[in-house]
Structure 1
Amino acid sequence: MTATSTKPKYEIKDLSLAATGRQRIEWAGREMPVLRQIRDRFAQEKPLAGIRLVACCHVTTETAHLAIALKAGGADAILIASNPLSTQDDVAASLVADHDIPVFAIKGEDNETYHRHVQIALDHRPNVIIDDGSDVVATLIQQRQHQIADIIGTTEETTTGIVRLKAMFRDGVLTFPAMNVNDADTKHFFDNRYGTGQSTLDGIIRATNLLLAGKTAVVAGYGWCGKGTALRARGMGANVIVTEIDPIRAIEAVMDGFRVMPMSEAAPEGDLFITVTGNKHVIRAEHFAAMKDGAIICNSGHFDIEIDLKSLGATATEVKQVRNFTQEYRMPNGKSVVVLGEGRLINLAAAEGHPSAVMDMSFANQALACEYLVKNKGSLEPGIHSIPTEVDREIARLKLQAMGINIDTLTAEQEEYINSWTAGT
């Protein structure tokens, strides 16, 4: 549905879904006390007043609370989807109907619609961009050089997006500050590990009703997302194999008790394959050919290119939908390969994404990163900047406080000792 005017105010599936979305947003808010405190402060201080802001994110109940907080802070914000299958249509409807936040996102939108929404976002002439995957920033740099002067900075919370931003900076085209939210301790330690670990398996089970106990699960990549996925799969009884290209991460996986081998060796062993690398074609033609009949493949990295679906589609003699978000590819040798969620983020394609308790910290980082960019306008050099340590620690402190957990503080003697080089043993 599109609002009728020369310039659309929103583009969502169905505004009548707002009541359901409102209930779900309220439910998620129970587990997001840190962002709630930030929103309350933003409402009083208005640190984003006069700022045009574009957020390209997964449109979920948790993202709704970020958008509401940004608006409370005074931002003139619009929201677009960062992935065609991650939008929750009822949430999009509630943001439009209940909060007057322009949303351009429809679950299942095609690539043409997605890219059109990116252009609509840039038509907003943003000062600050919140990006998941850096598509908005990349499009700005490639197609709208004249708008770069408007940009105060961008924030990025995906591994894929940070990789792209680093490449932009190396090539000399990233000429404004970018906040690396992804590497904040209160983001990657929790969101990437515990959020991805739980929600990935949630999506797999919803799509397949698969019993993980006794299955061999192959996890491609042992970064924080891979660690969480491998840990949770093992916890549900799977025999886990890890594939890696980084020798340090590979050793870590071995010492964490996992088998480590190349994908070529894992392909004939796996019952379930999960990619979480941020790279392309991690599973490709030679791997499909070596897999067991009925092997299940899915991706929990940001983009669907981790699985070489083009070569799989070109090889298959038949493709059919066997369950929601579940396609079976029949191979020339008679075996079948099953792909979940069209190779897109399985935790959002077939489930609801990360639990709100971890997104509370991730989106607290996003909100405070936007505030930091605005407060330091003109003083930050172009390039990629870490979240300040004091901000990271404050988010952790607020989370502990909300959980009713106290921790120790240093005594004066201890403070003196750790700051002195003259005190011996």
Structure 2
Amino acid sequence: MKVLVIGAGGREHALVWKLQQSPKVEKVFCAPGNGGIAQIAQCVDIKDTDVEGLLEFAVNEKIDLAIVGPEAPLVAGVVDKFREKGLRAFGPSQRAAEIEGSKALAKDIMEKYQIPTAKAATFTDVEKALNYVDELGVPCVVKADGLAAGKGVVVAEDVETAKKAVREMMEDKAFGSAGDKVVIEEFLRGEEVSILAFTDGKTVVPMVSSQDHKRAFDGDQGPNTGGMGAYSPAPIYTEQIEQIVMEQVLKPTIQGLAKEGRDYTGVIYAGLMITEEGPKVLEFNARFGDPETQPVLMRLETDLVEIIEAIEQEKLDEIEIKWSKEAAVCVVVASGGYPGSYEKGKLITGLDQVDENEAIVFHAGTKAVEGKIYTNGGRVLGITAKGDTVAEAVKSAYKAIDVIKFEKMQYRKDIAHRAID
């Protein structure tokens, strides 16, 4: 079959890499792709949000299956458009994807179906939002309602920071229309874990656990980013917690969405905080997470296409999904200044010196020009490695990073520190 992967980041590179291992796959296209993806698939110069352009390409190329990586095309309804044309597309419908597209909607669903989460309120009025900050107290979390590429969340330690975040989102439009509405919620203490799950709308099958590192700098300091690294498994995610999450989070969310006329199929991502009271939902995403996908897919032993076909046929309960017992770690190498302003076009060297038996370099923000690879984004590379333990996987990932060079590159030196500690 011919498969089209929609997206341009590290997650999409990992998806393409995994799909190439399937005997069912004849050719993989990626739109728009990146410098690394171009080495293993055919990249197509169509933006991931150009729904009509993607549709036209899929019809002309007789694409058998489209897999949507990022949230923006899902929220724009790319899956619905493909299906209207009789094309197969893997991912939730536009209405289902609103669980990520609107944090206010997600909160409403959680409240209605008693899914454990932080106390919160939603505002379209700046003054009312500012008053709620005083009422709730600090620390608190201010979130832009709409999509903001993982950056529309501010953890405010003091009132001044919280109110500044409200004003920047609602008045200064730091995230455009995404900040027309804001959600302000209590700060949850504990340890984060990411749970991705496959679902056909009836059956929910969780993937192996992972933990993302959102803050830019070592010791979980600095601003929030799209993710500076991830590892799998997360030791904090015990069998007991897994059972609670299945019964109190994943199943009721999928069932609740169905009751709301938002039938959900594809991958759902629950960002959780493991608190003293138990797991609570921080956010839902309507797709594979990035960078969690990189280590999680590295541990997946079952053919991804077989899983997708089982979901399409509502037979997810009939297949066994197998995972490697090894651990996997992804360390993100970013442009200097990320998640703030950064420069593009820096030459990357040393990629050919990475031993593929020790680590895989998933490209995120890169561009190929005349056989050379240059930086083309904030998060540039995701160095991903496996090992018998998390510590061994970490060692292999950082060994690979040692040979990679570009001007002003930055990365955290403590990925997976909680697991190792």
Tell me if TM exceeds 0.5.
no
* Higher strand fraction (1 or 2): 2
* Rg larger for: 1
* Higher helix fraction (1 or 2): 1
TM-score, length-normalised on structure 1? 0.27
TM-score, length-normalised on structure 2? 0.27
